[in-house]
Amino acid sequence: MSRVSRNQTSRSIGLSLLSKMGIVAFPSLAAALLILAKAGCKTENIELAGLLHADFQPTLDVRLRATPTETQIHPGEPTHAMTYEPELISGDASQVAKLTGSYLGPIIRAHTGDRIRVRLENALSEPTIIHWHGLRVPENMDGHPRFAIAPGKEFVYEFEVLDRAGTYWFHPHAHGTTGPQVYAGLAGLFLVSDAEEDAASLPAGEFDIPLVVQDRIFDASNQFVYLPHSGMMTDGVLGDEILVNGRPDFELSVATRAYRLRLLNGSNSRTYKLSWSDAAPLHVIATDGGLLEAPIARQYVTLAPGERLELWADFSTYPVGSEVMLRSLSFEGADVGMDGMAGGMAGGHEQHAGMMGMSGMGDMSVAALPNGAEFDVMRVRVDRAEVVPQTLPNQLSTFARYRFEDASNATSPRTFAVSLNMNMSMGSGMGMQWGFDGRTFNMREVHADEVVKLNELEVWELVNETSTMAMNHPLHIHGAQFQIIEREVMPEFSAGWESVRQGYVDAGWKDTVLLMPGERVKLLVRFTDFTGTYVYHCHNLEHADAGMMRNLQVLP
Ligand code: C2O
Ligand code: CU
C-alpha cells in the first residue's frame, strides 16, 4: 500500500491555484503524517465480516433485500425506485413494519438488549452496504464503505442493541453512491424502546407516528431526477417537492389528543426550519439519541440531514374539522455563498463550471426550491374527537451529563475543520471538493489526529469557517452519541446563524450536528464498547460521496 495517495499529488498541484483564489490553505504536507488504519489493513476483517454465526441467538432475524422496485407516488406511471424488501425469518412480526405502498422502510422495532440479525441481500446492480445511523455496533457491523458488497452478495449483521430508546435509522453507505441510493428510496427507521421510555408513558401504537421528510424532483413521467446540483463543487441534491414517508401532499389525520411525532430528516442536502402554521410552540421530547431529560418548547426547530427530533403534539384543544400545517420557514445562509468570487452565488454556476473546466458534472442550474426557501411539509387534519387525558411529563429521562473538566484534552480540543480542497480525480476534470483539514476520504487512511482512545472523554471542536465559500454542513460521527456544549459564529456570518439557531436542540444526545456557515461547535464525546475503524462525515450525502468523510480509529 502506497503512503503517497493520489489525493496528495493532486493537493500539491492544486495548492498554487488555491492560494491564487484565496482559499483556506492546507496544513503543510510535512505535517500531514499519515498512518495506515491498522484495522482497515487487515483484509481478514473484511472476509470474516458479514458471515452468519450459528452461535448467535437472535431475538429478531430478518432478511432485507436491497432491490430495484416500482412504486406508485403520483397518479399515472409508477416510479422506479430502490427499496429494502423485508422478510421475517424469526422473531415477532410486529418488529418489522412494512410501509405498504411506500418505497421507504421497513421500520424495525427493537428493545435495548435485543439481539438483531439482518441479512442484507444485494439485489441491486451496484455495490451497497447498510449503516445503522446512531447505533453503537462493532466496527464490522457499522457499514463502513470498505464492507460494501457486490451485486448478488449477502452481508449478515449480528449485533446487540446497546443504545437507549430513540429514533435511529439505517441507509446505504457505499462510498460515492450513498446519495443516489438514499434518493432512490433506500432508508428505514430503527426504533429502539427501553424501560425508561415505557415509564414515561408517551403516546404509543397508532399515536406514535414516524415521519420521514425528504425532497425529490420528478420528471414528466413520474421518475426521480437526481441532480447533483453542482457549481465548482457539489452543493448537494435539492428536490422541489416534499415527501413525507414517501408520499407527496402528505396529510395526517388525527384525533383530539396527544401524539408522539418522530421526525427524521432523510433528505440528501436539505435543512428544515419546522414550525406549526398557527404558531403553536413545538414541544421537543427527543433528539438523535433519544429522550431529553425534560421537554423543551420552541417556536421552530432546525432539522438538518440525518438528524431526528421527536415532538409531543397535543391536538386536544383543536376543534374537529380544523387543520394545521407543519411548515418549513425561510432561513439564510444555507447555500454556497461565494464572497469574493466572480459571479457571486445565484446564476454563477455555469460560469464557474466553465472556468474550472468541469463539464459533464450534471445540471448546473440553481435549485428550483433553494435550501432555506419556505414551503409546506405536511397537513394535519383534526378529524375526530377523542378524550384521552394525557399530559406532557415534566421529566422524560435521566442521563449523565459529561463535564468539560473531565475531558482528557480540556485545554486543547481535538479540532476538525471543514475545508475546501482541490481535486483532480472527479470524473471529467478538476474540481473543488469539501473535506476536513485539507483531506478527503481514503478507504484506508487514518491521520494521527483521527485516532482516539476507547473510553476517554474528549472535547471536540467542529469548525465551519471556510469563509471564501461558505455552506452549511451537518456533521455526523459514527460509533458514539455526543453532547453539544457550545456554539459560536463568526460575526460576518451571524445573519444566517441567527435565522436558525433558536431551532437548535442541543440539550440531548446527538450523533449529527448542523454547522451553519461561520459556525463552530464544541462537543463532548466518548467512544465506549468497541475499538476499530469508524468514520465521521458530512451528512449532506453528496458532500460525503465526493469525499467529505474521513476514517476515525478507536484504539484500546
Ligand atoms: Cu447516516 Cu455515515 O451516516
Ligand atoms: Cu457538507
Determine the atom of ligand 1 nearest the C-alpha atom of 535.
2
Gap from CA of 428 to ligand 2 centroid (Å): 22
Nearest ligand by distance to the CA of 168: 1
Gap from CA of 526 to ligand 1 centroid (Å): 18
Beta strand extents in 256-364 (DSSP E only):
258-265, 272-276, 282-287, 290-298, 301-303, 308-314, 323-328
Nearest ligand by distance to the CA of 305: 1
pTM, to two decimals: 0.88
Gap from CA of 49 to ligand 2 centroid (Å): 29
Nearest ligand by distance to the CA of 190: 1
Nearest ligand by distance to the CA of 547: 2
Question: What gap in Å lies between CA 427 and CA 433, rounded to an integer?
Answer: 12
Determine the atom of ligand 1 nearest the C-alpha atom of 478.
2
Length of the chain: 556
Q: What percent of the chain has pLDDT over 70?
A: 83
| Ion ligand 2 neighbours, Cβ < 5 Å | 473, 538, 540, 543
The model's pLDDT over 42-52, given as tens digits with 9 standing for 90+, comes to 444 555 789 99
Question: Average per-residue pLDDT in the chain?
Answer: 87
Determine the atom of ligand 1 nearest the C-alpha atom of 549.
2
The model's pLDDT over 424-440, given as tens digits with 9 standing for 90+, comes to 655 544 578 899 999 99
Question: What gap in Å lies between CA 500 and CA 153, rounded to an integer?
Answer: 44
Gap from CA of 195 to ligand 2 centroid (Å): 36
Cell reading at 517: 456557515
pLDDT at residue 389, rounded to an integer: 85
Determine the atom of ligand 1 nearest the C-alpha atom of 134.
1
Determine the atom of ligand 1 nearest the C-alpha atom of 143.
2
pLDDT at residue 367, rounded to an integer: 74
Q: Which residues line ligand 1 (CB under 6 A)?
A: 131, 133, 171, 173, 306, 476, 478, 537, 539
Gap from CA of 134 to ligand 1 centroid (Å): 8
Q: Is the pLDDT of residue 295 over 90?
A: yes
Gap from CA of 268 to ligand 2 centroid (Å): 10
Gap from CA of 191 to ligand 1 centroid (Å): 16
Determine the atom of ligand 1 nearest the C-alpha atom of 544.
2
**pLDDT grade, residue 75 (50/70/90)?**
very high
Residue with cell 422478510: 87
pLDDT at residue 337, rounded to an integer: 54
Nearest CA to ligand 1 atom 1: 133
Nearest CA to ligand 1 atom 3: 133
Among the residue ranges 204-208, 351-355, 445-449, the one predicted with the least confidence is: 351-355
pLDDT at residue 466, rounded to an integer: 87
Gap from CA of 458 to ligand 1 centroid (Å): 21
The model's pLDDT over 201-237, given as tens digits with 9 standing for 90+, comes to 999 999 999 999 999 999 999 999 998 865 556 689 9
Nearest ligand by distance to the CA of 546: 2
Gap from CA of 125 to ligand 2 centroid (Å): 27
The model's pLDDT over 136-146, given as tens digits with 9 standing for 90+, comes to 999 999 999 99
Determine the atom of ligand 1 nearest the C-alpha atom of 306.
1
Helix (H) or strand (E) holding 12: helix 6-21
Helix (H) or strand (E) holding 167: strand 166-172
Exposure string over 328-353, b if 16+ CB within 10 A, otherwise e: bbebbbbbbbbeebeeebeebbebbb
3-state helix vs strand vs coil in the chain, percent to 5 = 15, 40, 45
Q: Is the pLDDT of residue 338 over 60?
A: no
- H helices present in 478-546, as ranges: 494-498, 541-545
